[in-house]
A and B are shown apart, each in its own frame.
Chain A
Amino acid sequence: MPNDCSNSQSWDSKDLEIIHRVLRGDVNCYEVLLDRHKAHVATIVSNHVPREQVEEVAHDVFVNAYLSLATFKNKTTFRLWLSAIAVRTCYNYWRKIYRSRELPLSSLEDEDQDWLNNVISDQSQETIEEDVDKKNAQALLGWALDQLSPEERMVLELIHLEGCSVREAAALLGWSSANVKVRAYRSRKKILKILQSLPKGHGR
């Protein structure tokens, strides 16, 4: 039931107005922020966590954002601020998983490994591009990312797969640029090493 919270012009100023109202105790206004940004948050979260966990992590993102709302400074847009919370919540999700190993790591089926062997064998780049089988590629990606630490995983996804700059990734993760740079370099090397060693029979 979005109420009279929705009656000003630009999104940013409207967000700010709603935030002030929520901070003054009008919790129902938070629904407007939720409606406006839920698709954006779901997109970010879907990129970083398994599909079946997206709803739960997105739920945590909005609860964390609500709890930190008083710290929101008008230096950036609410959307950007929320994006950083979403990325950090995904990172925390992976940290928790790696610590407790609640979920089994994704495994690479024989079919995926055969596909990988074809890719790695001496085919021309064009043939490979044509042969891209989404399912196999995604299975390989999921498997390879599971071999990385949460830090390496997040940096690799943000920088090498999404194409964020070091600065953007550092802002989203709340780390220093130097830290992100070092981790990006290491994760890139590590994932290639993992993929290189796979055809010798390390599929799981």
Chain B
Amino acid sequence: MMDSFTELEQRFYPLLRKAYQGRKPVPVGEEWKRSVLRHIRSLEPFSGQPSLWELFGNVVWRFAPVTCALILMVCVGTASIDFVPEYEMAKVYLDNPVEFSLLRSLGI
């Protein structure tokens, strides 16, 4: 019996490679070709212009690095100023419990 991986590898890989390379390609016939063309003709023709969704996708992905950088900056900023929204809300509420209004607390 073989113990080492290397020995096993040396013995098996040539066999596997030979078996793999011995696979014969399956010929595709005329009927197959007709069915592909039938399928393609049944699809909508190219409009020539990229769709609105494609344009949107192209534009959106250009902003991905900037968005990541902004998210990172906001995270770092939030961590460094020690801002906890729950505490801040509670503080606002405790300071003015009677006339508390979320809009007023935001200065609107």
**Which residues of A pack against B, CB within 8 Å?**
22-25, 27, 30-31, 34-35, 38-39, 42-43, 45-47, 51, 54-55, 58-59, 62-63, 66-67, 69-70, 119-122, 125, 128-129, 132, 134, 137-138, 140-141, 144, 157, 160-162, 188-189, 191-192, 195-196, 199
A25 touches B45 (CB 8 A): yes
13 contacts between A and B (CB under 8 A): A27-B41, A34-B36, A38-B33, A46-B23, A46-B25, A54-B28, A58-B32, A66-B40, A120-B11, A134-B22, A161-B16, A161-B17, A161-B21
The answer, among A27, A42, A191, for a CB contact under 8 Å with B25, is A42
B1 touches A121 (CB 8 A): yes
* Shortest Cβ gap from A119 to chain B (Å): 7
Interface of B is mostly: helix
Tell me if B20 counts as interface (CB < 8 A to partner A). Answer: yes
The 6 closest A-B pairs by CB, nearest first: A137-B19, A54-B26, A161-B20, A46-B25, A43-B25, A141-B19
Provide the residues of chain B in CB contact with A55, threshold 8 Å.
Answer: 26, 28, 32
**Which residues of B pack against A, CB within 8 Å?**
1-2, 5, 8-28, 32-33, 35-37, 39-41, 43, 45-46, 48, 50
The answer, among B13, B15, B28, B45, for a CB contact under 8 Å with A38, is B28
User: Which of A31, A189, A199 has the largest number of chain B CB atoms within 10 A?
Assistant: A31
